[in-house]
Chain A
Amino acid sequence: MDFGLSEEHQMVQRMVRDFAAKEVLPTIQEQDRVGAMAPFVIPRMAELGILGITVPVQYGGQGMDYISLGLVCEELEAVDTSLRVIISVHNGLTCLTLLQWGTEKQKMKYLVPLAKGDKIGCGAFTEPGAGSDFAQIQSTGKKDGKDYILNGEKMWISLASVANYAIVTVRTGKNTKRAYQGLSTFLVDLDSPGITRGDIHGKLGVRAGSTGWINFQDVRVSADNLIGEEGEGFKVTMSAFDSGRYTVAAGATGLIRAALEASSAYAEERNAFGEKISDFQLIQAKIARMALDYQAARLLYLQAGSLKNQGIRNTRETSSAKWYATEASFQAASEAVQIHGAYGYSDEYPVERYLRNAKGAMIYEGSNEIQSLIQAEYALNRRRDKKIRLELPPYDPISWT
């Protein structure tokens, strides 16, 4: 068993690390302060191919594997969570969902411009009244000839105000035996008549990123835009989360690394009681914990990525990786603030931003309470992965490139 990264993976890692450090890091603190993403970021990521990294070349992407996707997320979030969020919703929730569930026609029409970064995608699932209890969403899609008419509101949607397309799950069936059976997923052009959208302000973290709401009022969507079949929306959405959670796990791993590096550097230069604070065992214990968590979180997401590459279902492993990494990243960021003392409490140092950014990932893409229930169900043999009609395709270095 080889735990090392291939030469290709190392080059991907270095390329994205250089981009984030050179072009985003110098101004990120200011972007976080003003609460907006620098306008050049998304076009630049598109230009560099980062937005289509794990999409086959035939669909406009870069044809890199799922491990590369994880590495990109780790590197981006080591600079700021808002960067990784772009990949999570654009590549994870949108591109990979189309790759898994889209028809050939849908892939050519929508996945190609998304993977090239000509269009930006987001995933619109959560509603004001339904997050973890996703089967209870209230938005509706009513059949009208060859179209569906969408009504309702989606909330806490990353890139809501920026994206061109959204993957949207709504209720199309009323009298199904179980609530989740009545859901369907659509690809919606966000410039369609009847759509209004905006940003949510006053967030605790990810302030340099866009988070918003999308309102649908009698929005007409062609049945050609159904992703999967009618009634398959719950499965489509859950597979979108299997992809999105993976990017969150890898990103949170990057945040642990950032907290660890900032803490180590500060502890080496700060003196107290006549010694560097890195000489104190209580400080060392915190740093040791971060180092351990970084390794553990990294192995967990690489395991999930390896399963994705092989085309093996990884709901359990991806959920573990997301749960562990996001809890550990919050803990690491909190301890990083503690190590920095009063300076850590101000935005003169990046660690308070890490702490604010880390909290969100414990809530979105399936709260960590949901992740723990998933793990309990697997452990108690109450949950088995059922075969789904379309699985996320394995990585194939020949056909993808």
Chain B
Amino acid sequence: MKIIVCVKQVPDTAATMTVDSGVISWGDAPLIINPWDEFAVEAALNLAADQGGEVIALCLGKEGETEAIKHALAMGADSAVMVSDPALKDADNVAASKVLVAAIQKIGDADLVLFGQQSVDTVTGLLPVQVARLLKWPSLTLVSKFEGISPDDGKLQVLRSMEEGNQVVDGALPAVVSITKDYGEPRYPSFMGIRKASKAEFPVWSLTDLGIETPSSSITWPEISEPVQKEIVTEIIEGDTPEEKAKNLVEKLVAEKVL
């Protein structure tokens, strides 16, 4: 099987985000692989181990921002491709999906394209479906388990996990699949993988290499602001007995129009 797993680098989730004049900053916090994508890499590695085949990490990002790709390689991906072009600086979801599709087609012969459920920075979860639509492949989102997969028959069966319940879904290969964290904990990079990843060389494709024009973006962010700070006041409800405390609490909640 040939599995392409799309990964993205995002600011460290532990970083403190600030907005200054509409520009988001995370200080000197490092970039990391999008935590959701680690589940996709884990799924890709397990499928390749079970079925035989290769895992290729694909990343769209700024040149030199290779944290996500290196992490995927250190986890065990066989090879990687970076797509980077200054013209993509303000690419929105639609534009990004067009570029990823061109890269997936240039890599060629993929049986599966895996994504994390969403990215922690933009949190849209749209890319997997947009890529599937452009490729005209089935889109299987929120997958927590591969029940069965047969590249020879071109079929797969997955378990979709949602808040409302689970679905078993049959699909055809090739397909685009997004993985939820219910899939199971991703492995840590191994030391051998870290050594391999730190020395790894991989192609960096520009839009020219992909043979496509700069895709237009229709979404912009005219204003970004920090959430309004809420004033939190702590008050201890007094009373001689538990019943009196409860009564006083209810009165307070009614007075504050909470109840």
Interface size on A, residues (CB 8 A): 18
Interface string of B54-73 (1 = CB under 8 A from A): 00000000000000001100
A49 at the interface (CB under 8 A from B): yes
Interface string of B182-217 (1 = CB under 8 A from A): 000000111110110110000000000000000000
Instruction: Give the residue name and chain of the B residue nearest to A8 (CB).
Output: B198
Question: CB distance B188 to A6 under 8 Å?
Answer: no
The answer for the CA separation of A64 and B197 in the assembled complex, in Å, is 14
A397 CB to closest chain B CB, in angstroms? Answer: 8
The answer for the CA separation of A19 and B192 in the assembled complex, in Å, is 16
| From B74, B190, B194, B198, residue with most partner A Cβ within 10 Å | B194
Question: CB distance B190 to A63 under 8 Å?
Answer: no
With contacts A11-B70, A11-B71, A14-B32 known, is A53 near B191, CB below 8 A?
yes
A68 surroundings in chain B (CB, below 8 A): 191
Report which of B32, B70, B191 forms a contact with A63, defined as CB distance below 8 A.
B191
The answer for the CA separation of A15 and B75 in the assembled complex, in Å, is 10
| From A8, A10, A401, residue with most partner B Cβ within 10 Å | A8
B154 at the interface (CB under 8 A from A): no
Question: CB distance B30 to A10 under 8 Å?
Answer: yes
A18 surroundings in chain B (CB, below 8 A): 188
Question: CB distance A12 to B191 under 8 Å?
Answer: yes
A53 surroundings in chain B (CB, below 8 A): 191
Instruction: Give the residue name and chain of the B residue nearest to A57 (CB).
Output: B192
A64 surroundings in chain B (CB, below 8 A): 191, 195
A11 surroundings in chain B (CB, below 8 A): 70-71, 74, 189, 194, 197-198
Question: CB distance B198 to A6 under 8 Å?
Answer: yes
A211 at the interface (CB under 8 A from B): no
A8 surroundings in chain B (CB, below 8 A): 194-195, 198
The answer for the CA separation of A164 and B188 in the assembled complex, in Å, is 27
Instruction: Give the residue name and chain of the B residue nearest to A72 (CB).
Output: B191
Question: CB distance A15 to B195 under 8 Å?
Answer: no
| 10 A-B interface contacts by CB (under 8 A) | A6-B198, A7-B70, A10-B30, A11-B71, A11-B194, A11-B197, A12-B191, A62-B191, A63-B195, A64-B191
Chain B residues near A (Cβ < 8 Å): 30, 32, 70-71, 74, 188-192, 194-195, 197-198
